[in-house]
Amino acid sequence: MSIFKNKLFAFSLLLFLFSCNQSKKETSQELNKNINNKITVKKDAKKYSVYYELNLPFEILVNDMVVEKNLEIGMDGPDQINQFIIENGSQKIKIKAIHPYAENGGKIQPQDIPLINERLAIYLKDSTINDSKLQLITALQFPEIEEETPYIEHEWTFDAEVPFKLNGWANSKNLTQMDKEELKKKVIQKFRDLRNLLESGQANSFMKELKNCHNDFYTANYFDNNQIKEYESNLTTFYNEHKEHMILFEDNVAIKIMGDGKVVSLELIGHFQGQGVLTAIDKEQKTLYLNYVMLHIPKNSDELEIVRINSKLTSMDD
């Protein structure tokens, strides 16, 4: 089984969600009620994106949070990154690119670096200037290498100015200070609970798990109330499609700490290497649902919560 490069949508799911006209769900109404009058259209909207064309396995992290990860094949961007920018100031972006046959001795050659660098950049779309046309913020250039290597990895910084401040993981507990075995048990149990919600078709309950994560997302992307309403209705439909298609993940998983030690995820090992464990396969429709969930423990809490999620839908062949 192989995964096509067809990236239909990342967490925003905008192309999918805003092309659907699903009926309003009760849970969507409840969620909207909680954030009613809190989200308004910003006249000074600024949207940052990372652009890339990577035809080899890679991962992209902004402020030590996974924006995109594909360790099987390459794919193209862009990805909007506002939800990973907590506040104004200096931001970090790290990219790791891996030779597709690294496990069998494949190595990136010095002459490959210019090709990898060709389309890597951070762009800004600012509604207040230049008719909202894209502005180059910084080109992301891997340094030259003198010898072949199985992978390359580099971190850059860029300045971002946004008219918001997100809750995110800034004040979350430092998970590296917890007992490793205790943390592992809590993380696996949380993902079991989340998987069970999706497997049993409880999309409304799963949406409630995303409430705080969504509030940050709406703020970062300047959603108005109508956009929120439509988004949540269609997203609920999307998660309902996971019913009875969730894979089992008890074995072959790895814990990944990120977010400067404040965030954790659970990744698959082997098939779908590096993807989140909340993966669903609809063999009849030849559809793969990938959900990379990042958890944190908020200040004054002892429970893990979803702080960010990257969801996407891809096609499969046999």
Domain layout of the chain by residue ranges: 2-42+168-317, 46-160
Cβ distance 230 to 17 under 8 Å? yes
- Per-residue pLDDT reduced to its tens digit, 281-293: 999 999 999 999 9
Residue 42: per-residue pLDDT: 58
Q: For residue 17, give the nearest of 239, 236, 235 by alpha carbon.
A: 235
Instruction: Compute the distance between CA of residue 7 and CA of residue 218 in angstroms, rounded to an integer.
Output: 22
Q: Report residue 84: phi and psi, to 5°.
A: -100, 5
Instruction: Compute the distance between CA of residue 100 and CA of residue 102 in angstroms, rounded to an integer.
Output: 6
Instruction: Compute the distance between CA of residue 10 and CA of residue 257 in angstroms, rounded to an integer.
Output: 21
Where are the alpha helices (H) located in the chain, listed in sequence order?
A: 14-17, 26-35, 113-117, 180-199, 203-209, 211-220, 225-240
Q: Report residue 240: phi and psi, to 5°.
A: -65, -30
Pair of tokens at residue 98: 């891996």
Residue 251: per-residue pLDDT: 78
C-alpha distances in angstroms, 16 versus 11, 125, 182, 210, 314? 11, 21, 39, 19, 12
The pTM score is 0.86
Residue 304: per-residue pLDDT: 98
Low-confidence ranges of the chain (pLDDT < 50): 1-41
C-alpha distances in angstroms, 68 versus 20, 23, 42, 54, 200? 24, 30, 26, 11, 27
Q: For residue 214, give the nearest of 185, 235, 194 by alpha carbon.
A: 235
Residue 168: per-residue pLDDT: 97
* Residues in contact with 79: Cβ distance below 8 Å, sequence separation at least 6, in sequence order: 10, 49, 50, 60, 67, 68
Residue 25: per-residue pLDDT: 31
Residue 44: per-residue pLDDT: 73
Instruction: Compute the distance between CA of residue 280 and CA of residue 183 in angstroms, rounded to an integer.
Output: 25
What percent of the residues of the chain are helix, what percent strand, and what percent coil, each to the nearest 5?
A: 30, 30, 40
Residue 318: per-residue pLDDT: 58
Tokens 């507990």, located at residue = 173
Residue 3: per-residue pLDDT: 39
Cis before 298? omega within 30: no
